[in-house]
Structure 1
Amino acid sequence: MGGFAALVVPLAAVAVVARRRFVIVNVAGDSMVPSLVHGDRLLVRRTRRFRAGAVVVAHHQEGGRRVAVGGSLASDWLVKRLVALPGDVVPEAVVPVVGERTRRVPAGMAVLLGDHPDSIDSRRWGFVPLRDIEGVMVGRLRAGGR
């Protein structure tokens, strides 16, 4: 029994660490078409390190504020592309929402856009607090509808 316990304890520790560092998120809706489709399952690494162009998972937004949505934790998240970080030039598509005087993304904020032009994203909300971005997609586990 000692050998079994010696194997189980390290495996349990790895499982706990993995659950803290990674999460599986289901894509809901068409905001990331054609890159991702409704039903895709994504492996997301929880991190505070971001780069423009990455697909990220963020908490739902409305008017620049986090909004709670019913259901599982994964359904409370949005999947969007991070297009601008603090200090970057504000993308033209977001200028009507944030104002023409704002030329750079402010400290602590980001711009998130869906790949589909009809996506509800920073074109509606404006800037998103970096603290509301949960992590970065590291892989697709299953393609939905394909």
Structure 2
Amino acid sequence: MAWLVAVVVVALVLLVVLRRRYVVARVWGHSMSPTFHDGERVVATRRRHYRVGDVIVFRPRSETADVAWRIKRIAAVAGDPVPAWLAADHPVVPAGRVVVAGDNTGHSEDSRQLGYIDIARVAGAVPHRPAPEGS
């Protein structure tokens, strides 16, 4: 009986550790096509630092959002010049923020609508998949 308790405790500890390191999210819609497809599940790994080109999973600002997670590619990080396509009051991305865009910009709700994304809302980065040519 003691071995069963030990197995359950180890399983619970592993679950807690894994949940702190990884997040599983589902792709909703076509904003990241052709890199990711509607309904596809991705695993994101928590990191300390993110770079331009990383695909991140983050929570939208609004708790009443239609999806729990958003998946977008980082277009600029803190200190980078603000991309020309983003109307902004600052010449550079503020500290603690990133600019995101979908790979399928015609069907993407991204920083053009959401504004800067607070890095504290980022759950992690999806293992590297390059952006499709032309994006």
Please state which band the TM-score falls in when normalised by the shorter chain. Answer: 0.7 to 0.9
Identity %: 36
Aligned length: 128
TM-score scaled to structure 2, two decimals? 0.81
What residue ranges of structure 1 are gaps of 5+ in the alignment? 61-65, 141-146
Q: Give 1:3 deviation, angstroms.
A: 4.0
2-structure distance, mates of 1:129, 1:20: 19
TM-score scaled to structure 1, two decimals? 0.75
Q: Does 1:116 align with 2:104?
A: yes
Structure with the largest fraction of strand = 1
1-structure distance, mates of 2:70, 2:31: 9
Between the two structures, name the one with larger relative contact order (CA 8 Å, sep ≥ 6).
1
Report the secondary structure of 1:28's partner residue: coil
Report the aligned-residue RMSD.
2.2
2-structure distance, mates of 1:139, 1:26: 17
Q: Equivalent of 2:82, from 83, 86, 90?
A: 90
Q: Give 1:2 deviation, angstroms.
A: 3.9
What residue ranges of structure 2 are gaps of 5+ in the alignment? 130-135
Which residue in 1 is equivalent to 2:39? 39
- Give the direction of change, closer, same or farther, for the CA distance of 1:139–1:92 in structure 2 (3 Å limit): closer
Which residue in 1 is equivalent to 2:116? 127
